[in-house]
Each structure stands twice: as C-alpha cells, then as structure tokens.
Amino acid sequence: MDAIFLQILNGLDKGGAYALIALGLTLVFGTLGVVNFAHGALFMLGAFCAVTFQNILTLSRKVKDESITFFDAYKEIPYLEIWFGETGMAIIDWAVPLSLLMAIPVMLVIGLVMERGLIQYFYKRSHAEQILVTFGLAIVLQEVIKSFFGANPIPTPAPEIVAGSANVGALFGLGDTVVYPYWRLIYLLFSLVVIGAVFAFLQFTTFGMVVRAGMADRETVTLLGINVERRFTVVFGIAAIVAGLAGVMYTPILPPDYHIGMDFLVLSFVVVVVGGMGSLPGAVAAGFLLGILQSFASMNEVKSVLPGIDQIIIYLVAVVILLVRPRGLMGRKGVMED
Amino acid sequence: MGFFKLSRRDAMTMLIFIALVLLAPIWLRPFGAAYPDLLQKFAIFGLFAIGFNILFGLTGYLSFGHAAFLGIGSYTAVWSFKLMSMNVIPAVFFGTLVAGLFAVLIGYVSLRRTGIYFSILTLAFAQMCYNLAYSVLTPITNGETGLRVLQDDPMVIDGLFGVVQEGSPIGNFFGINMQGYPAFYFCAVMLIIGFFISLRIFRSPYGLKLAAIKSNQNRMKYTGFNTRPYLLWAFVISGMYAGMAGSLMAVTDPLAGAERMQWTASGEVVLMTILGGVGTLIGPMLGSVLIKYFENIFSAFNKGALHDVFAFMPDWLENLVVAVVHPFVGEGWHLTLGALFMVIVIFLPGGLMEGFRRLSRLRGRKPAK
Amino acid sequence: MADNIVLNIRNVDKTFGGLQALSDVNLGIEEGKIHAIIGPNGAGKSTLLNVCIGRLEPTSGTVTFDGEVITGKAPHEINQAGVVRVFQTPEIFPELSIIENVMIPAFARRDGAFRFNPFSSLRNESGIREEAEHVLRDMGLLEQRDHHAGSMSRGDKRRLELAMGLVQHPRLLLLDEPTAGMSRADTNATIDTLKRIKERGMTKVIIEHDMHVVFSLADTISVLAQGAIIAQGEPDDIRGNQKVQEAYLGGAH
C-alpha cells in the first residue's frame, strides 16, 4: 500500500511536467493547427532561463581567501554576497523560484518572435512540412544553447529550505517509508496551479472564449469578423510561457542539459496523442496518467515480471491507444482525421 | 531479360549513375572527398535515403522511425559475423531480411493511421527499439558499449572452412578484406543495385499507384484499390533499404550501437531526402552526399583552422568572421544542419532538384526574350 | 418488379444525430437503364449515393448489388464488385498527368484491389494506355493528356472525372450531377456521351438538377423529397405528377 502510494506520488510530478508541455502543444495545435516539434525546445529554454538567472545572481569577484595562510589563495564571492551579505546569499539560494519572474517575459517574447517570425508562414502548409521546419528549429535552438552552456547538465538546486523531504506517509496515516522531496510536491502543486490558471483564462475571459470557439470551429469564428490570427499569436505566447515555466521549475528535479527538450518532446507528443489531439483536458489527464504509469512500471516488482517495461511503457500505451481508440482518450471527432 | 530493360532516358540515367559511383574515387579527388571512409558513408547513406524516399517520396507517409531499421540491420549483421562467418554476404542478406521482418510488424501497426499519427507511431516504435537496445536487450545488443565481433566468437561456418581470424576481426568478401576501397566498392555495388530497384519501382504501375495514393488516398479507395497493402509494401521495402544500409555500416566497421536507432538519426535521413528533393530519383542520393561531405568538412574545423582560412582578411574582420562562423563548425555542425533543414523547408520544399528545375527554366526563358 | 434488378435498395434509413436524411427508401435499378433521381436540395440524394458506394453506412436497411449485399463493405470492394461513382466535386489526382489519372482506374479494373508489380514497366502497359486514350478521346481530352490534372479548368476536371469512371466499364455507374457547372455546349456533349454508353448496356444512376439533362437521358425517374421517395415512373408520368410538381418543380424555383 505504501509502495503504491509512493509510486503515485512519484509519477505525479513527472506527470505534471508532461501535462504542462502537452497542454501547450494542444493549445497550439488546436488553435493554429500547427504541429510544433519545437515545443520541447521551449521547455528547455525555460530551464535555461533558470540557469542564466542563477549565473547572473552568482556573478562573482575574485577575493583573497583569508582562511588559507600558507599561500595566496583566491576564492570567488558573488557580488550579491559582497553587497548585501546574508540577504544576498538568501537571494541566490532562491534563484530558481525567482527566475520564474524573468522567465515569463522572456518566454513570451520568444514565443511571439517564433510565431510571427516563422510559424505563421506554415499555417497553410502540410503537417509534414510543419513537423520538418519545427524539427529544424528545435535542433537550432538546442545547439545554440549547447554552444553557450556546454553539453553537461548544470545543477540548479532548489532553495535550501525546501531541499529536504516531506514525510507524506505520516500525513495520511501510512508508514514512515513514504517520504517525498518537498520540491517535487511544490512542482506538483505548481503544475496544478498553472493548469488551473490556463483553464480559468480560457473559461472566464472573453479572450479565452474566442480562443475556445476558434478551436472548435475556426472558419465560423473567422467569418464572424473576429481577428483570430492575432489572438492565436498570443495563444502561442501563452503556450511558450507555460512550457518555459514548466522547464524552470523542473531544473531542481533534473539538472538541465541541452537535449532535455527533445527528451520531453517525444514523450509529450505521445501524451497529446493518448489524450486526444486537440483536447485540453485530455492532454492534462493523459500527462498525469502516463507519469504515474511510468513510475509504476519502474517498480522492481513490475520490472521483475516484465523486464524493460519501464523503458517502453509510454510508447506501448500510445500504440495501443492509437489502435484501439484512434481519437485518444478525449479526442473530438474529426480532428486530424483525413 | 525484360527485367533490365529501361527506356533510353532511364538507361542513360542509370549509366551515368554507375559511372559516377564507380569513378567517385577519381572525380571526387579535387573536392578532397576521395578517401574510402567518406566514400563508404556516401554509399551507405545514399542507400538509406533512396530507400526512405520510396516511402516518403512516393506515398507521402513521413516516418520518423526509420533509424530503427538501420540499427536492426547493423545488429543482425554483427550477429551474423559472430555466429556464422566474417563473410559479408550473409551479414548483408540477414541484415536486410530481419529489418524487413521488423518493418512488416511495425508497418502493419503504424499504417493503420495516417498523417501526423503515423509519424508519431513510427517515432514511438523507434524509441521503443532504442530504449530496449539500451536496457533489457543488453544480452543481444551489449547495451551502451555496443556490439562488436570478438576473436573467440563461434563463427561456425568460418570454422567449417578452417578460416582462422588473425588480429581484430574484419569483414571479408570471399577473402577480400572489407576495408578501404574494396569495402567502398562493395557498398557501391549495393548502392547501384538499390538505385536500379528504386528506378524500376518509380517507373512501374506499382509506383504510379503509390503516387496516386499520395495525391488522393480516398479517391484510390473509391477507385477500387485496397491501399493498405500497397503502403505496407512500400514501408517494408524502405525498411529493407535501411536494414541493408545498417548492415553495410557493420560491414565496413564490424560493430553496432544503439545510438544508430535514435530519432535524431531518423531525422537525418529525412533531411537528406528533402535537401536533395523528395520524390525525385536522384535527389536523396544528392542530399546524402552533400550532407556527409559537409559534415566531414565542417566538423573538422576548429578555431585555429578558421583563422587560417580567413587569414587574408584584416585582423578585426578576421576575428569577427571567425566569431560568427565558429558556432556553425566543429562541434556546432548540428547547428548548421538544423539551420539548413529550416532554410530548405521554408524556401525550397522541393529540394535542390526543384532548385535546378527552376534555374533551367529561367535559363530556358532568357533566349526567348 | 422485374427480375433484371441490378441494384436493390431495401428499407434504407439514415439518420445523422436527430436528423432523418433517408427514411425507408426502396428502390430497384433495372439493368441497362438510365435511372435519374431528382429532388429538391437536401432531399437526401447525395446521402443515398454515399450509402451505395460505402462512404456512409445506413442506419438500417440493405443495399444489394447483383444479388450480393454491399452495405458494410469497404469502398474498394464495392468498386471492384462493379459499382463506380463519378463525384460531383472532382476528386482527381491533381499531381498526376491527365492520362495517368485515367490509367489508375484502368489498372484497378485489370489488377483488382491489390497487385504488387514493382518490376514491371509502365512502358509495357500499352493496353492500359490505349484504353485510357480511347476514353479521353471520347471526352475530348486527348490533346492535353500529358498536362497536369491539377491545372485543368473546372469543366475539364468534370469530364476527366467522368472518363475515370467510364474507363472502369462498371456494371453500374453512379453519376452525381455530371453536368453541374458545365457550359450548355459541354452539357450537350456529355449527354451525347452518356447516351452512347447507354447503347453499350451499362446501367446508370444519375442525380441531376438540370431537367433538360434528366428528360433527355432518363428511362426512369425517382423523385426524392425529405428523405423519402414520393414518386417513380417514366419521364412522362413524372412530368405530369401532381405531388412532384408541388414538392419539386414548384418548390425549387
């Protein structure tokens, strides 16, 4: 029982990341009709926003290390620490959460530039061409990041206060074996909040209403004389922000490297397909579902029965779903059916 | 011999192709590309792309998982070396065959869907193969280290004929070691056969029907065709090409690793095909040669070499140019590749062949003015 | 009814959601005849044709062709059985040349639903090519046979569409407004062509708005209104039929 509970928890934070990426993919696909293979790169760019922010905060000056007396030793002390002492160190400690503030405008700009500069010219072109051009873009983005930040994963720790683990088991009256890192809990909550915010935005604002109408029937909305295209640009920006934030917050869980986006992209596409192309609730549900499934599959008890199942479970589910229920879990009729 | 009969034009194409391939070590010399390792790559990736084009070019089905067949071909070939013989004929035969069998399986399932769903299904299958090769299938694939031929492998058939391996095992063609130029010429013969088959398919009623499926699949159904087996055969044929290319990789260098199956490798063959021209006969070959050629040149450059190249410029300009160019060469080759990918899709979706056609049309118009 | 019924539509119902598109349609098409189905817009004519070629499955009821039930069969099986449809909006292969567009259905007739012949050469298919050229000559498209089909005028596309149907020599040809959008001259040419084929004993079902076409071609006319057949008979009977006058001739214009 404890073990199962723990696996569910373990799956949820990964599921949260899947859900956030898949949500953006679905939004872009549903509104712009574009299959965006560069969406994973947005997740990666978000993660590197956190890295950059951390690098900025820890800009340092060489100072003589007084604690070593045998020879002249130097150590690097961040300016923030020199200027603000304890407060400065605290700010550095909170680099990841604080970088969310930077990530929002940066990702918005990246998203808008991407849509206006490239994606808009591919609305009318075939899905194959959309896949190809965004695939090229994804490679370009990840290689640019690689040339700036190198090929190795960059550690970006969570603030110290949440570095430990929570004894979640005790909360639910289970054994002490159910311990769970605070940051993962935070990630889960964070993803739920972002998902909630996106849904609320679509549900309760006029803008969101038009977007939803556009997703349901683009032609009619265009006929009403509403400029859908401009709104869709904003939608792309929103999707970029969501993917970026998901990336920022994921850095303490998995130190980012340049190909983290591609790794998540392939999985997220599978998530989108399982959820049903064009269905937002489907994307979210499938994200969490597959995250949990994956974490169950990596339990030793399961692996001993079905070796290697943890490596392929997501793809296997996708294949089965696509064959049995081509529209995915919650897909609408007529979306992407030729 | 109706099988070898071609129209005059196609016979010319075929002859020129054969001449270009066989004489490649000579005419590629001025380009600095006439050494066997690179020539082998031209032939192997050319074969891969020609096969991929039979699926993507003729039917329009974009597979993002063909690298899986490349990997399967490689693994099978290495196992054929290990178990049977260092002779390359069984290695290539079984590499092609086993890849074909996998293609039947994967194709049968993936072709139940079209469009982007098909792409994602093939991608999912390729990723499964890749992940499995890295993990549970380690006894077969030797995981991260990669599968290689060892001196104490059984090699039953070689044993029967009393062939003894000395030194590190090298593939051979009835006694001719598959290294250097002999290996290139072996690959070249395979490439020529592959190109000929592709030409036959393009000119056959079967090929015309595939083109019609690409153009309007629904209409094909109402015209009385069961499109599924047509597509499946195209998928299997192109999977076999990939398997053959993979086994040739093992022929020229008897080892196989899972990274050959990664989806970026699938992306590479897509790029080769569209760079040259999707659906054209020569395009995929052209694309793969260009990409492998420039990969070879670009990835060899480092900063020092760049400074040498631009040394004729004033210092400030030299530094500037080197700073701009540097991210695109050496380690940054992939950046160039990605950028090229975008440029081609945006400006020249028909690839270089389309570009040539436009140019010749322009030139044809000028005298008229 | 007569024994020589080739297509038999029995008790066919079709509903979309709550909408009744066809209700209890019974129709027998006699072999070798031209049978016109007329009716106002939205009467269910196209739905009926779609049911016949397997594009739609009826909610209930069956369609039998030549004594064999074809409802629920795959479109290519129905085509191979000998039921061929000519589409109203041209469904051609725009990337292929005109002659290739006609060769494809000719192959379907000769090769069946599937034939794997990657090593035979198109150059050796002179039989198929001649067949295609013959039909193209009939349709007046022979001159431009090597042009891209995608660049044809709309009227030419309609004629190509008809050629694609004719080259299959179907036992039953279903024509969905074959002259819509054609000039008067083209319309008359098409009528002539269809009449000529009539002499060859091909059964035809025509959906048509143009009364000129209907009355110059049809042996029998069925009138469909609101998903049901309200009248059936020879052209003269229909012309004088009170119900038809109300439902169609009066209502439509």
- pLDDT of A159-191, one tens digit each? 887 777 777 766 666 666 667 788 888 899 999
Q: Nearest-CA residue of chain B relative to A317?
A: B124
With CB atoms and an 8 Å threshold, state whether B115 touches A338.
yes
Task: Name every chain C residue with its beta carbon within 8 A of the beta carbon of B230.
Answer: 114, 116
Domain tally for chain C?
Answer: 2
Task: Name every chain B residue with its beta carbon within 8 A of the beta carbon of C111.
Answer: 205
* Closest residue by Cα to residue B225 from B239, B206, B238, B242: B206
- What separation in angstroms does the CA of B90 have from each of B101, B243, B286, C23? 16, 13, 29, 65
* Interacting residues of A83 by C-beta distance below 8 A, sequence separation 6+: none
Is residue B109 within 8 Å of B281, Cβ to Cβ? Answer: no
CA distance A327 to chain B (A): 10
CA distance B4 to chain C (A): 9
Q: Tell me which of B230 and B305 has the higher pLDDT.
A: B230
Domain tally for chain B?
Answer: 1
Task: Name every chain A residue with its beta carbon within 8 A of the beta carbon of B144.
Answer: none
- What separation in angstroms does the CA of A24 have from each of A29, A129, A191, A235? 8, 20, 13, 9
With CB atoms and an 8 Å threshold, state whether C105 touches B7.
no
Mean pLDDT of all residues in C179-190: 82
| Distance (Å, whole) CA C163 – CA C98 | 10
Is residue C54 within 8 Å of C1, Cβ to Cβ? Answer: no
- What separation in angstroms does the CA of A255 have from each of A42, A54, B53, C189? 16, 13, 39, 74
| Distance (Å, whole) CA C63 – CA A318 | 38
SS3 content of chain C, % helix, strand, coil (to 5): 40, 25, 35
With CB atoms and an 8 Å threshold, state whether C168 touches B221.
no
Q: Determine the 3-state secondary structure of B354 from DSSP.
A: helix
Confidence band (pLDDT; 50, 70, 90) for B58?
Answer: very high
Q: Determine the 3-state secondary structure of C112 from DSSP.
A: coil
What does the pLDDT read at residue B154?
84
| B neighbours by CB contacts (3+ pairs under 8 Å) | A, C
Q: CA angle, corner B12, sides to B10 and B18, nearest 5?
A: 100
Q: Residue C137 belongs to what domain range? A: 90-166
Is residue A106 within 8 Å of A261, Cβ to Cβ? Answer: no
- Residue C207 phi, psi dihedral angles, 5° rounding: -100, 130
| Distance (Å, whole) CA A292 – CA A298 | 10
Evaluate if residue B369 carries a pLDDT over 60: no
What does the pLDDT read at residue A332?
64
| Distance (Å, whole) CA B100 – CA B112 | 18
- Tell me the average pLDDT of chain B: 89
Q: Is residue B109, in this structure, part of any structural domain at all?
A: yes
Q: Tell me which of C166, C197, C226 is where a domain ends.
A: C166
Do C6 and C78 belong together in one domain?
Answer: yes
If you write DSSP's letter for every residue of B16-70 in order, what string do you get? HHHHHHHTHHHHTGGGT--SHHHHHHHHHHHHHHHHHHHHHHHH----S-THHHH
Q: Is residue B218, in this structure, part of any structural domain at all?
A: yes
Using CB atoms and an 8 Å cut-off, which of residues 192-231 of chain C contact chain B?
Answer: none
Evaluate if residue B85 carries a pLDDT over 70: yes
The answer to whether B339 faces chain A, any CB pair under 8 Å, is yes
The answer to whether B11 faces chain C, any CB pair under 8 Å, is no
Secondary element (H or E) of residue A241: helix A228-250
What does the pLDDT read at residue B152?
81
Evaluate if residue C224 carries a pLDDT over 60: yes
Q: Is residue B223, in this structure, part of any structural domain at all?
A: yes
The answer to whether A77 faces chain B, any CB pair under 8 Å, is no
CB-hemisphere CA count at 13 Å for C248? 27
Confidence band (pLDDT; 50, 70, 90) for B366?
Answer: low
With CB atoms and an 8 Å threshold, state whether A318 touches B334.
no
Strand B176-177 and strand B172-173: the pairing is: antiparallel
Evaluate if residue C2 carries a pLDDT over 70: no
Q: Tell me which of C135, C166, C197 is where a domain ends.
A: C166
Do C185 and C251 belong together in one domain?
Answer: yes
Q: Is residue B359, in this structure, part of any structural domain at all?
A: no
With CB atoms and an 8 Å threshold, state whether B136 touches A266.
no
CB-hemisphere CA count at 13 Å for B346? 16
Q: Name the residue facing B206 among C75, C87, C116 (closest C-beta).
A: C116
| Distance (Å, whole) CA B182 – CA B195 | 20
* Closest residue by Cα to residue B258 from B142, B171, B149: B142
What does the pLDDT read at residue B365?
63
Mean pLDDT of all residues in C163-169: 92
Whether there are 3 or more C-beta pairs closer than 8 Å between C and B is: yes
With CB atoms and an 8 Å threshold, state whether C95 touches B211.
yes
The answer to whether A266 faces chain B, any CB pair under 8 Å, is yes
Using CB atoms and an 8 Å cut-off, which of residues 85-124 of chain B contact chain A?
Answer: 109, 112-117, 119-121, 123-124
Do C175 and C68 belong together in one domain?
Answer: yes
What does the pLDDT read at residue B228?
94
The answer to whether B112 faces chain C, any CB pair under 8 Å, is no
Q: Determine the 3-state secondary structure of A159 from DSSP.
A: coil
The residue whose two tokens read 């640009």 is A233
**ipTM, interface predicted TM-score of the complex:** 0.90
Q: What is the DSSP letter of B252?
A: H
Mean pLDDT of all residues in B213-231: 94
Q: What is the DSSP letter of B281?
A: S
Q: How far is CA C113 from the centre of its chain?
A: 20
The answer to whether A144 faces chain B, any CB pair under 8 Å, is yes
Secondary element (H or E) of residue A334: none
What does the pLDDT read at residue B7?
85
CA distance C218 to chain B (A): 25
Do C64 and C106 belong together in one domain?
Answer: no
The answer to whether B338 faces chain A, any CB pair under 8 Å, is yes
The answer to whether B196 faces chain C, any CB pair under 8 Å, is no
Q: What is the CA radius of gyration of chain B?
A: 22
What does the pLDDT read at residue A32?
82
Confidence band (pLDDT; 50, 70, 90) for C194?
Answer: confident
Secondary element (H or E) of residue B178: none
Which pLDDT tens digit goes with each residue over C34-88? Answer: 899 988 877 888 888 888 888 888 888 999 998 889 888 899 999 999 999 888 8
Do C76 and C176 belong together in one domain?
Answer: yes
Q: How many CB pairs (< 8 A) connect A and B?
A: 117
Task: Name every chain C residue with its beta carbon within 8 A of the beta carbon of B5.
Answer: 121
What does the pLDDT read at residue A336?
46
Using CB atoms and an 8 Å cut-off, which of residues 340-359 of chain B contact chain A?
Answer: 340-342, 345-346, 349
Is residue B165 within 8 Å of B151, Cβ to Cβ? Answer: yes
Which pLDDT tens digit goes with each residue over C105-127? Answer: 999 999 999 999 888 888 889 99
The CATH number of residue C38's host domain is: 3.40.50.300
What does the pLDDT read at residue B234?
97
Is residue C220 within 8 Å of C232, Cβ to Cβ? Answer: yes
Q: Residue B230 belongs to what domain range? A: 27-261
Secondary element (H or E) of residue B176: strand B176-177
What does the pLDDT read at residue A173?
66
* Interacting residues of B367 by C-beta distance below 8 A, sequence separation 6+: none
What does the pLDDT read at residue C252?
44
| Distance (Å, whole) CA B246 – CA B237 | 14
- What separation in angstroms does the CA of B56 have from each of B210, B214, B272, C97? 10, 9, 12, 20
Q: Is residue B331, in this structure, part of any structural domain at all?
A: no
What does the pLDDT read at residue B158?
81
Computed from CA positions of residues C50, C52, C53, C55, in that sequence, does the dihedral angle turn out positive or negative? positive
Task: Name every chain A residue with its beta carbon within 8 A of the beta carbon of B132.
Answer: 308, 311-312
Please state, as a whole number, how many other Cβ atoms lie within 10 Å of the Cβ of residue A37: 25
Q: Is residue B306, in this structure, part of any structural domain at all?
A: no
Q: Name the residue facing A322 among B113, B136, B349 (closest C-beta).
A: B113
Q: Work out the angle between the directed axes of helices A127-149 and B115-134 (0-180°, nearest 10).
A: 40
Is residue A43 within 8 Å of A247, Cβ to Cβ? Answer: yes
Q: What is the DSSP letter of A209?
A: H
Is residue A196 within 8 Å of A20, Cβ to Cβ? Answer: no
Do C77 and C181 belong together in one domain?
Answer: yes
* Closest residue by Cα to residue C193 from C162, C171, C161: C162
Q: Tell me which of C243 and C140 has the higher pLDDT.
A: C140
Q: Is residue B369, in this structure, part of any structural domain at all?
A: no
Mean pLDDT of all residues in C208-225: 86
Q: What is the percent of chain B where pLDDT is above 70?
A: 97
Is residue B238 within 8 Å of B55, Cβ to Cβ? Answer: yes
Which pLDDT tens digit goes with each residue over B302-328? Answer: 777 777 777 787 888 888 887 777 777
Domains and CATH numbers, chain A: 2-59+100-324 (1.10.3470)
If you write DSSP's letter for every residue of A279-322 in order, what string do you get? -HHHHHHHHHHHHHHHHHHTSHHHHHHSTTHHHHHHHHHHHHHH
Task: Name every chain B residue with its beta carbon within 8 A of the beta carbon of C94.
Answer: 215-216
Using CB atoms and an 8 Å cut-off, which of residues 212-231 of chain B contact chain A?
Answer: 217-218
Q: Which of B259, B263, B346 to mutate to test the interface with A (most CBs of A within 10 A)?
A: B346
Secondary element (H or E) of residue B359: helix B351-365
| Distance (Å, whole) CA A279 – CA A216 | 10
Task: Name every chain B residue with its beta carbon within 8 A of the beta carbon of A308.
Answer: 131-132, 135-137
Task: Name every chain A residue with its beta carbon within 8 A of the beta carbon of B124.
Answer: 270, 315, 318-319
Q: Which residues of chain A have pLDDT under 50?
A: 334-338
Q: Name the residue facing C117 among B5, B204, B216 (closest C-beta).
A: B204
Query: Per-residue b/e over B166-176, b at no fewer than 16 CB within 10 Å?
Result: eeebbbbbeee
Whether there are 3 or more C-beta pairs closer than 8 Å between A and C is: no
What does the pLDDT read at residue B332?
77
By CB atoms closer than 10 A (0-12, 13-18, 19+), residue B14 is middle
Confidence band (pLDDT; 50, 70, 90) for B368?
Answer: very low
| Distance (Å, whole) CA B109 – CA A108 | 40
Q: What is the DSSP letter of A252?
A: T
What does the pLDDT read at residue B244?
97
| Distance (Å, whole) CA B97 – CA B310 | 50
Q: CA angle, corner C124, sides to C122 and C128, nearest 5?
A: 75
| Distance (Å, whole) CA C189 – CA C182 | 10
Is residue B256 within 8 Å of B147, Cβ to Cβ? Answer: yes
Query: Per-residue b/e over A243-257, b at no fewer than 16 CB within 10 Å?
Result: bbbbbbbbbbbebbb
CA distance B313 to chain C (A): 50
Q: What is the DSSP letter of C148?
A: B
Token pair recorded at residue B309: 């190249």
Q: Is residue B318, in this structure, part of any structural domain at all?
A: no
E-state strands within chain A: 60-64, 74-78, 165-167, 179-181
With CB atoms and an 8 Å threshold, state whether C122 touches B219.
no
Do C134 and C159 belong together in one domain?
Answer: yes
Q: Nearest-CA residue of chain C relative to B2?
A: C120
Is residue C221 within 8 Å of C36, Cβ to Cβ? Answer: yes
Q: Tell me which of C120, C136, C166 is where a domain ends.
A: C166
